[in-house]
Amino acid sequence: MACEQWRSRLDSYADGELDSQQASALAAHLQGCSACAGDVLARVQMKRSLQAAGKRYTASPELRNRIMKLAAVKPRREAGHLWKILALPALLIVVLTIVVNVYVGYQSARRNRIYSELADLHVATLASTTQVDVVSTDRHTVKPWFQGKIPFTFNLPELQGSEFTLLGGRVTYLAQTPGAHLIYLVRKHEISVFIFQDRGEESASSPSGPVRASSFNIENWTQYGLRYFVMGDASPEDIQTLSRLLRAAQ
């Protein structure tokens, strides 16, 4: 009966379209139902395959520049020098506006694509029967496990006195770049913490606090050459508290 209740919502869950309460309830169901968990994994894998195929046809910056040049309107010769002088600033404003909009749109699309890929990793991990490869609540056990498996090191916070529990970690990949995926628990909500090397290509920092994307609350920042993403259906306050603990640990 429970499976029938949730089966019609699996696509919405994989696409990040459920509200936090429904997503949390379905995530709890997936932990005890291998059939539904397998269906979610299949949907996430199909979604990631389609995203990878779509990237093959993304317009290159060179093509964008060529289109912008072809679209530029040249002033007619008979308009006179005064018309040219008056039109030049307006033309420059139009061109600058186009360039800024293209850049902002590119950054926004890139940020949303990264959030979507991380949401897929988060959902797939929660639906998996083996969420982590190193199972331990001890940070001194989890941190050394990553040595030799990823090309960087990091520190984990001391959680004594807090409401958070470390469940373990695993190696993950974002755009074929290896990183650490840690799972924390707070009041039955599982939170993913992703850590990658900062390549200086993404300006998705959220210094004002968590943002809402793909049905999850997300906070990210760069620190000492590493980029952190904290994601889950927990409250924004919990996401922000765990983020502060991680920042302080570094």
Please report, in tens digits, the pLDDT of each residue of the chain (250 residues total): 567 766 667 677 766 677 777 777 767 777 667 677 767 666 676 666 666 555 555 666 776 777 777 666 555 555 556 556 656 566 556 555 554 454 444 455 667 788 889 999 999 988 888 889 999 999 999 999 999 999 999 999 999 999 999 999 999 999 889 999 999 999 989 999 999 999 775 544 545 567 887 779 999 999 999 999 999 999 999 999 999 999 999 8
DSSP E strands: which ranges in 44-199? 134-135, 165-174, 177-186, 189-197
Residue 62 lies in a domain: no
pTM score > 0.85 for this model? Answer: no
Answer for the pair 179, 173: CB distance below 8 angstroms, yes or no.
yes
Give the per-residue pLDDT at 57.
Answer: 56
Residue 135 lies in a domain: yes
Query: Which tokens sit at 247?
Result: 């920042």
Domain coverage including residue 172: 2-54+107-249
Which of 210, 240, 192, 156 minimizes the C-alpha distance to 23? 192
Give the per-residue pLDDT at 93.
Answer: 62
Size (the chain), residues: 250
Angle 20-32/81-127 helices, nearest 10 degrees?
40
Residue 127 lies in a domain: yes
Query: Which tokens sit at 93?
Result: 């404003």
Residue 87 lies in a domain: no
Maximal CA-CA distance, the chain: 79
Give the per-residue pLDDT at 167.
Answer: 96
* Domain CATH for 199: 3.30.200.100
Residue 121 lies in a domain: yes
Q: What is the 3-state secondary structure (H, E, C) of 24-89?
A: HHHHHHHHHCHHHHHHHHHHHHHHHHHHHHHHCCCCCHHHHHHHHHHHCCCCCHHHCHHHHHHHHH
Residue 223 lies in a domain: yes
Q: Specify the DSSP element, H or E, that contains 221.
A: strand 216-223
Give the per-residue pLDDT at 22.
Answer: 75
Q: How many domains does the chain have?
A: 1
